[in-house]
Amino acid sequence: METRLFIIGLAMGAFAWLSRQWSRSGAVDTPLKAGLWHGFFCALSAFSTVWIVMMSWDSRSRFIAVAAQAVSTTELYPSLAAGAIFGVIGFWKGYGRGRELSGRRYFLNEDLEWADTVFSAVLLAAVLMYFVVQAFKIPSGSMRDTLREGDHLFVNKFIYGLRVPLAGRRVLSLRPVRRKDIVVFRFPVDDLHALHCGSIQYGKDFIKRVIGLPGDTIQVSNGRLFVNGQEQIDEPYALYADGRAREAEAVNAKLMTPQQYQQRWQEHSLDTALEISPPYSGPRDYFGPVTVPSHSYFVMGDNRDRSCDSRYWGPVEERFLKGRAWFLYWPPSRMKAVE
């Protein structure tokens, strides 16, 4: 969302700058030019509006937060259609009133004012969402009962440091990632078509709890979690929906050497190698041991028996991390700091 707002803000800023230059020079001096320029503004405005609305609708209908790197056809086609329709309407109005100098000046000044307003507001919102805080909606039950489906919360995006755009690193960190932090991250794959946990996860935002830090050894045996060889007993947030009903260890997992298992897991292909599909058998109750690589984290959902997490698709590299869950603000009856 923040990247798209940033793009829209830059586009409106460029439009405002050009409008200001052409207003001074009188370059828009014919009805055709007035119609084309006003039509372009209407098309850009309609495209941007529908793009944001459709992205929000698409996200909610699939119960995910769509990352800025993925543009679905359900967003793109309606946005282009709206841009084309309103562009034609804008051209017709601009052309009709562009026969007179006062009409051409009216559209230039009016469009310039709106473009300046949108540029300032949208760019500020994008900067705040990218570097400071962002709203997030819980998409599934994997974090029950700590967080429930439909909960709305704020994500602190500066506590682990400010993200350097396109660089994949952070600066000015307030504190490092700690075990038991609840974090929001973009699903850690770069392959747009990779299947994990039964579907394509590329571009989705996930929320999980940090279990393992770089260098930690993680293992799950008979549903019990071990970190660096120590069973994790003090986990009041952990929910085991199936109680004592545990699954058998996957046979194909035993056919791998420890080195092959580690490599598959680290390359985000363990679930593929184990031929895992819903309801996510295998690593749920018997996983590892693996060592968390440097600049990476092992994450799990609090609802351990209903969570698609690092047991299946591997570590979360630091570059995918977005921030720490901070404050649950909706519904009001559950308003609280997230821990």
* Catalytic residue ranges: 142, 208
CA distances from 247 to 73, 81, 301, 329 (A): 40, 51, 18, 37
Choose among 118, 222, 176, 140: nearest CA to 324: 176
- Taking each helix axis from N to C terminus, what angle separates 73-97 and 31-62, rounded to the nearest 10 degrees? 160
Backbone angles phi, psi at 338, to 5 degrees: -85, 125
| Nearest Cα residue to 268 out of 154, 152, 168, 188 | 188
**Are 143 and 301 contacting, i.e. CB atoms less than 8 angstroms apart?**
yes
159 phi-psi bin (left φ>0, alpha ψ -120 to 50, beta other):
alpha
Do 286 and 221 contact (CB within 8 A), yes or no?
yes
